[in-house]
Structure 1
Amino acid sequence: MTVRAAWLHSTGQTREDTRLTLSALLTPNGQSAAETPLRSRPGIVPGGLVLTGASAMQCSIGTGRAVIQGSDTAQGAYMIAVTSPETLTIADGDPQYPRIDLIELAVLDDAYDRSGATDAVIRLVKGTPAATPVVPASGPGSAFPLYTVAVPAGTSAGTGGIAWTTAGVVTTLHYPMTALGGIIPTSGFKGAYVGQYRDVSGLLQRWDGTAWVSYPKPIGGIAPHGTMTTGGYTGQYRDNAGVLQRWDGAAWQYAEGKAAVLFSVSQTSMQSVPASTWTPITLQNVDIDDFTGWNGSDSFVVPRTGWWRVSGHVAWNGDSTTGVRGARITLGGVGVPRMTWLGPAATGAVTVGGQGLIKLTAGNVLQLAGYHNHTAAVRTLGGSGYYSNLSAQWIRS
């Protein structure tokens, strides 16, 4: 019959019937479309079958449980339990060349593999010594690899044996399995069905039928910092170094009203400004710089795209009472016309400046420049109660 059931018929239920039907509780293998309906994903129940060194040339495989899919799909999946540790003895190393031995969990079922045995075993497959050794082929039956052991040339109990705790000597080959619907704590395999989940280094992922999709991408998920460069849908949010951003379909925009950027620098030392040229003002004191955009001298690199309120003023010394005094915001070295202010010179200090709204892009460079048309250099005031200043505040995207 092609439709089989467990514990339905009063007589005639075979071991094959039982294995095939109980595998409905296991995760499908899913490595190809042909495998998914009837083949189960092999593996061990997490935490079991741990290898430890028992002596110079012996190791112990601890207790645990596992699933082995039969080589023939019709075999179904074999459920294995190791109830006591198994001790394996490693043969002495070859005098000239190293080798690699394989430790595997295997099911021998003569009805399918003609092995002459019906048993479940943990076995050691000895490798072939070579200048560049390779992992030996699996033994007969349906097998699941557990570990490889590197055996250097000349290794024996008399020379100290296998260095069980040395990196690179023992390589873990096994991987975990879970029941159907379980979250598998591993990576490196295709999903078997839409809606399957896996845990990859603490990140939850879902199989969408084609690829593993990290948990932040589903509707409503806020992506953690550094996990996403392109939004999955318009209206998605992400955490960008502690600041919330929203994907508008083409770019990340900062969430309205959820964060502010404040910047202010002031001049604390006098500066000599030549005549008839717009000159960047050097500002020594950082009042506040939320995103460290100031270069320490005369330039502010805009950290966030959006609308900004920018203000600037230059405090002039009374070196001369002739001509005009000016202040200007420059963007990329070019003056912004609506943020240019001029006033007449006067006896004593003269402060010229103002503020305005401007749309800026992350990476733009802002400067405060000063201007006068006296015949000789004129100094700015940086002290004695007078500071030149450049400040900026991000308002919205």
Structure 2
Amino acid sequence: MTVRAAWLQSTGQTREDTRLALSALLTPSGASTTSPPLRSRPGIVPGGFALTGASAMQCTIGTGRAVIQGYDTPQGAYMIAVTAPETFTIADGDPQYGRIDVIELAVLDDTYDKSGATDAVIRLIKGTPSATPQIPASGPGSSFPLYTVSVPAGTSAGTGGVQWTAPGVVTTKHYPMTALGGIMPTSGFNGVYAGQYRDVSGQLQRWDGTAWVAYPKAIGGIAPNGTATTGSYTGQYRDNAGVLQRWDGSAWQYAEGKATILFSASQTSMQSVPQNAWTPITLNYVDIDDFNGWNGTDSFVVPRTGWWRVGANINWYGDSTSGIRGARLLVGGVGYSRMTWMAAASMGTTSVGGDGLVKLTAGNVLQLAGYHNATAPVRTLGGSGYYTTLTAQWIRS
């Protein structure tokens, strides 16, 4: 028959029918190109088959449950439960060379493997001593490795035995399995179907048919910094170097109210400004610059698109009491009319400036410019309690 069922026919159901039909509940195996839909992923139910040292040359394998895929596809998958711990004695080490032993779970089914037995066992396979020890071949039947044990030359109870907890002595070879649709708590394997999930060191990943995709990058979560250049859907969020952004369908926008940018620079020494020309003002001291947008002299490069509150103020020294004094915001070298202020010169200090909301684009260059129409150069005030300043604060997209 090519269509097999469990518990359908009143008579004649075989063990093979049962194994093949019940394997519909198990995760398919992607390790074989031969009839992969009929082969199940072998493995243990997480938490079982723990190895502990029982004495110098003995270890115990604890209880557990497992699935072993038959060597031949038509065998189906064997579901196994070990209900009591089993103890194994490691043979003394060779006088000259070390060796590697294997502890494995196996199914012997004479119908397929001609082993002469029908049984499920945990067995110890002794390796061959060698200057370069190799893992020994598996025994007869369909098997699944649990552990390898390194046995150095001269190891015996009299020399201290196997150092069960020492690094590199016992190596875990088994890996977990889950029922179909379960989240596999391991890595190192390709998915079998789109929509399969696995947990890798606490990160949920989904198989998209070709590769494993981190779940926060796929849908529903915040993509980690550097993992999402283009958004996958409108409303997706990402962490951009500690700042939250939202994909609007065509570009990343900063999440409103979740992050701010502050910039402020001040003038700490006087500057002579020629008459009748808007002249960029040199600001010598940076109070705060969250995104390092200041060029060190007279220009701030806008790091984020959106609405900004910009403030500008110039304190003019009383070199002359004639004419007017001005302050203006320059955007890309062009005066911004809504951010231009004028005042008549007076004796002492003339303070000119203000603030306002400006829609800016990332990459715009902001400058503070000063103007006067006195008959000779006039100086700005920096220090001495009169600071000329340029400030900018990002408000929202």
Does residue 238 (structure 1) correspond to residue 231 (structure 2)? The answer is no
CA 1:227 to 1:356, structure 2 compared with 1: closer, same or farther past 3 Å?
A: closer
* CA positional deviation for 1:73: 0.6
* CA positional deviation for 1:134: 3.0
Q: Percent identity?
A: 64
Once residues 167 and 53 of structure 1 are traced to their aligned partners in structure 2, the CA distance between those partners, rounded to angstroms, is 14
Deviations 1:227-262 (A, max 9, x none): 73234434132142665422245542224x443524
Does residue 282 (structure 1) correspond to residue 284 (structure 2)? The answer is yes
Contact 2:270–2:379 under 8 Å retained in 1: yes
Residue 305 (structure 2) aligns with: 305
Deviates more, 1:204-213 or 1:110-119: 204-213
* CA positional deviation for 1:92: 2.6
Letter in 2 for 1:222: G
Report the RMSD for the aligned CA atoms in angstroms.
3.3
- TM-score with structure 2 setting the length: 0.83
Once residues 323 and 169 of structure 1 are traced to their aligned partners in structure 2, the CA distance between those partners, rounded to angstroms, is 90
Does residue 261 (structure 1) correspond to residue 260 (structure 2)? The answer is yes
Deviations 1:315-362 (A, max 9, x none): 23335557876656577xx74433785866542112234556252326
Deviations 1:154-210 (A, max 9, x none): 332222222222222222121111112222212222222233222222222333322
CA 1:304 to 1:164, structure 2 compared with 1: closer, same or farther past 3 Å?
A: farther
* CA positional deviation for 1:81: 0.9
Q: SS where residue 23 of structure 2 aligns?
A: helix
- TM-score with structure 1 setting the length: 0.83
Contact 1:92–1:155 under 8 Å retained in 2: yes
Q: SS where residue 37 of structure 1 aligns?
A: helix
Q: Please point out which of 270, 273, 279 is paired with 1:272.
A: 270
Once residues 96 and 189 of structure 1 are traced to their aligned partners in structure 2, the CA distance between those partners, rounded to angstroms, is 38
Residue 161 (structure 1) aligns with: 161
Residue 86 (structure 2) aligns with: 86
Q: SS where residue 163 of structure 2 aligns?
A: coil
* CA positional deviation for 1:39: 0.8
Contact 1:328–1:336 under 8 Å retained in 2: no
* CA positional deviation for 1:303: 4.1
Contact 1:6–1:21 under 8 Å retained in 2: yes
Residue 336 (structure 2) aligns with: 338
Residue 31 (structure 2) aligns with: 31
CA 1:317 to 1:35, structure 2 compared with 1: closer, same or farther past 3 Å?
A: farther
* CA positional deviation for 1:41: 0.9
Residue 228 (structure 2) aligns with: 229
**Unpaired runs of 5+ in structure 1?**
none
Matches of residues 14-163 of structure 1 in structure 2 within 5 Å?
14-32=14-32, 34-163=34-163
Once residues 335 and 311 of structure 2 are traced to their aligned partners in structure 1, the CA distance between those partners, rounded to angstroms, is 14
Does residue 380 (structure 1) correspond to residue 381 (structure 2)? The answer is yes
Once residues 307 and 218 of structure 2 are traced to their aligned partners in structure 1, the CA distance between those partners, rounded to angstroms, is 30
Q: SS where residue 204 of structure 2 aligns?
A: strand
Contact 1:328–1:335 under 8 Å retained in 2: no
Contact 1:105–1:145 under 8 Å retained in 2: yes
Letter in 2 for 1:192: V
Once residues 159 and 367 of structure 1 are traced to their aligned partners in structure 2, the CA distance between those partners, rounded to angstroms, is 80
CA 1:230 to 1:264, structure 2 compared with 1: closer, same or farther past 3 Å?
A: closer
* CA positional deviation for 1:74: 0.9
Once residues 324 and 151 of structure 1 are traced to their aligned partners in structure 2, the CA distance between those partners, rounded to angstroms, is 94
Q: SS where residue 38 of structure 2 aligns?
A: coil
Contact 2:205–2:213 under 8 Å retained in 1: yes
Residue 390 (structure 1) aligns with: 390
Residue 191 (structure 2) aligns with: 191
Once residues 27 and 286 of structure 2 are traced to their aligned partners in structure 1, the CA distance between those partners, rounded to angstroms, is 65
Once residues 67 and 73 of structure 2 are traced to their aligned partners in structure 1, the CA distance between those partners, rounded to angstroms, is 14
Deviations 1:100-145 (A, max 9, x none): 2222111111221122222211122223333433322222211111
Once residues 234 and 206 of structure 1 are traced to their aligned partners in structure 2, the CA distance between those partners, rounded to angstroms, is 17
CA 1:92 to 1:319, structure 2 compared with 1: closer, same or farther past 3 Å?
A: farther
Contact 1:273–1:370 under 8 Å retained in 2: no
**Unpaired runs of 5+ in structure 2?**
none
Q: Provide the aligned length of Structure 1 versus Structure 2.
A: 387
Contact 2:238–2:246 under 8 Å retained in 1: no
